Amino acid sequence: MTKDELLHKASELLLGDERLTPADWVRLVVFARISDTQRGVDALVYTADRKHESLSPSTPQARDVLVQLRQQMANEDPQKRKWVVAMLQFDAQGDDVEMDARFEYDNIDRWDITPSTMKQVVEEFRPKGV
């Protein structure tokens, strides 16, 4: 599969996960931390009532596709670099969803959600008006 096909497949899996997309979700931000020794996916889910929750996908399928995406992107990169963190942001726009993807190649702790960084990360990605 191409990187675009893998990104589309990962998006479908994440958006199809009812745990990550409750009926009133307005933004889903997914952080995939993948290295040769670490593979984890966390998400922030923002709802219309101004609440947020930190969750993980209900199955490993999206993580597995993101691992494939990382490898495919490295295969296509002239320097064969592998990203260490992917940030996928989905915004509900009525019946449509807008998506943004960013990739970090050096700092695996970028966008890390810990007790000391939780408030900062939550506010950084909080949708305006929510």
Q: What are the phi and psi torsion angles at 113 (to 5°)?
A: -105, 105
Q: How far apart, in whole angstroms, are the C-alpha atoms of residue 26 and residue 43? A: 13
Of residues 113 and 92, more confidence is placed in 92
Residue pLDDT, tens place only, 86-104: 999 999 977 789 999 999 9
pLDDT tens digit sequence for 18-64: 999 999 999 999 999 998 888 999 999 999 998 999 999 999 999 99
What structural domains and CATH numbers belong to the chain?
3-125 (3.30.500.20)
pLDDT at 71: 97
Contact 61, 13 (CB under 8 A): yes
CB 34 within 8 A of CB 45: no
Contacts for 40 with CB less than 8 Å, ≥ 6 apart? 32, 33, 34, 56, 63
